[in-house]
Amino acid sequence: MTTNFILAPILMHMFTAIVLLFFWQKVLIQKIISIVGNSIAFLLCLRLFEMTLSQGYLTLQLGGWEAPFGITFISDTLSAIMVLLTALVSLAVGIYSTSSLNVSRIKYGYFFIFHFLIMGLLGAFLTGDIFNMYVWFEVVIISSFILLTVGGKKMQMEGAIKYVTMNMLASVIFLTAIAVLYGITGTLNIADIANKITLVENKGLVTVTSLLFFVGFGIKSAVFPLYFWLPSAYHTPPSAIAAIFGGLLTKMGIYAMLRVFTVIFQPDSFTLVLFSVIAVLTLITGALGTINKRSFRRILSYLIICHIGYLIAGLSLNTELAFIAIVFYLIHDVIVKSNVFMISGVILKMRETVDITRLGSLLKDYPKFSLVAALVLFSLVGIPPLSGFWPKIYFFQESFKQENYILLAALIVASFVTLFVIVRIWAEAFWKESPKPITEEIDHFAPFSLSGKIALIAPIVCLAAVSLLIGFNANSVIKLSSKAAYEMKHPEIYINNVLGPKE
Amino acid sequence: MILVGAFYSAGIYMMFRRSMVKLLLGLLLLGNGANILIFLMGGLTKGKAPIIKPENSKFLEVYADPVPQALILTAIVISFALTAFAIVLLKRVYSTTGSDDLDSLNIQDLDI
């Protein structure tokens, strides 16, 4: 059904950002506006999600131009899930950053850029037009450049150079792919392209185009040979920014891949083999990268790469069951990854370092916080009742069924290495005695006011509760993921909803 | 077509150089190459405006496709903003590190 409501979350973030501009340099007012804006946007996203579930596809043809000519916005189950996750994480990180960031950063327009970033993400998830998706990507990357570099020291600058270069390169490749696709189909609407691409005779060119898209999105989501910018960039910015990046930016690339490779291109056997090889390599390199690192943030950066491998593995298996696993894993991963980055930020405040060999006795000093942190860390591994467990089972089961044993082995190895690394973090940072006595100067957490502490801890606890809820309520999440997977396996529903039913 | 190839290859060559300024120039060349590629893929038609004559109801002959021009315009504006940002970033990097050499930026990967 057609509705204008689909734009409401996007416009809400834009509106918040514009209002924030009027309160440049006024830190307290900015914080309040940002939290209010985030909360309203969260409610709007919740409503959008609920409407999409109850009424099926929501579409909007901008300016009343009919489908292949105008720009389409569409919300199916997958988009709705991503939108809801984005809203949840942005609300949590928004509250967290009111207390974790220093005043000068907020004065330089942190919240303003933050809302533009979220707006870009929501736009990318909701658009039904490939060029429009490119534009939203650009909105996101230019905001992320600014967030990454504002107030930067030397190390942050080094990471930023790599990040900026790789992302600009990814955009150029994405643009090239769009150019070729436009050349062979003559349209930009995703649904219309999907219709026309089946008529193209030169199948080789179609495959090449699909791989150009894969490379473009692959750089953004940090898959195997293209991942190196991520570990050098993601551990440098403040943890609030890293949380948004780690949780959502790489997933945007994955979402775009899912969209392109389910609706537009139907992967042939060559592409599937390529995906599977890349998945194996991503899993292994990501996992190996974590082992020799001592900094908590660096370990997390490599874990992001490792876990992107799971999603690519799902894409290479290319069955409905694998798609269920992907959607479930996305839900789990977005929430948990943002949360661990926020936890690393709190640890940094408590101990002035995130080097795990120099950390210690967190469990003794902060028992309740450690309990929450343990819950989050172990759900990253997927200890049974926690949220990471269910999608992994599906991945294992499906790769076993397809007799792709190398992929299965890589999945299991990656899972074990994750377990090893998490246990190591737990033992080093939380369990063992601190190597040097904790003095008052080191602990920046205790002097915080009560409201400051609540703003730091409450988002972590809420996200941990959500991931617990996902774990214990796996049945309904699987039902939701199955709906999304069914829609991904049947792109004709998507096409008919955009272009109207065929006569 | 040759121009597109030249832009892409020159851009990629420049990106492999060690200098940061050349890296930026390489990105610019690549971006422009992509723009011309869009233009080329839209099909080049000279002097045929996409206007339907009053007596017809649809296009009967070949016409110049206006969409690629809109796309390129958007892409140019975006790349303009990105370039402006990248130049400022490079200047900041130069003033913090005092060097134009990309290889001098790898210190942090050595510490774990």
Per-residue pLDDT tens for B91-107? 888 887 777 776 666 65
Query: Best of B7, B69, B99, B109 to disrupt the A interface by mutation (most A CBs within 10 Å)?
Result: B109
- Token digits for A22? 């009027």
Q: What is the largest CA-CA distance in chain A?
A: 76
What confidence score (pLDDT) does residue B111 get? 53
Q: Which positions in chain A touch B86 (Cβ < 8 Å)?
A: 164, 168
**CB A417, CB A286: distance < 8 Å:** no
- Nearest-CB residue to B89 (from A135, A149, A188): A149
Using CA atoms, how far apart are residues A53 and A328, in angstroms rounded to an integer?
16
Pair of tokens at residue A342: 């926020």
Residues A207, A212, A215, A218, Cα dihedral to 10°: -80
Mean pLDDT, 10 residues at a time, chain A of 503 residues = 84 91 84 90 91 86 78 89 92 88 79 91 91 92 86 74 87 90 86 85 86 90 82 80 87 90 86 90 88 84 89 88 90 90 86 76 81 86 80 88 88 89 86 73 72 85 89 87 88 83 57
Q: Looking at residue A280, what is its pLDDT?
A: 92
B103 and chain A in contact, CB less than 8 A: no
Among residues A381, A366, A349, A367, which one has the least CA distance to residue A452?
A: A349
Nearest to B23 among A131, A165, A172 (CB): A165
Q: What is the pLDDT of residue A503?
A: 46
Burial annotation A185-195 (CB, 10 A radius, 16+ → b, else e): bbbbbbbbbbb
Residue of A266, A257, A256 lying closest to A136 (CA atoms) = A256
What is the Cα–Cα distance from B79 to B102, expressed in whole angstroms? Answer: 22
Q: B34 touching A, CB under 8 A?
A: yes
3-class secondary structure for A221-268? HCCHHHCCHHHHHHCCCCHHHHHHHHHHHHHHHHHHHHHHHHHHCCCC
Answer whether residue B108 shows pLDDT above 60. Answer: no
What are the C-alpha distances in Å from A129 to residues A43, A65, A69? 26, 13, 10
Q: Which of A328, A294, A345 is nearest to A473 (CA)?
A: A328
What pLDDT does B60 receive? Answer: 65
Q: What would the pLDDT profile of B41-79 be if each residue is shown by its tens digit? A: 877 776 677 777 777 776 666 677 788 888 889 889 988
Scanning B41-80 for CB atoms below 8 A from A yields 41-43, 65, 67-68, 71, 74-75, 78
What local confidence, expressed as pLDDT, does residue A14 receive? 92
- Give the span between the Cα atoms of B72 and B87, in whole angstroms: 22
Q: Which ipTM did the prediction report?
A: 0.87
| 3-class DSSP state of A376 | helix
Rounded Cα gap, residues A436 and A379, in angstroms: 30
Q: What is the pTM of this model?
A: 0.90
Distance CA A422, CA A242 (A): 19
d(CA A3, CA A73): 10
CB-CB under 8 Å, B75 with A158: no
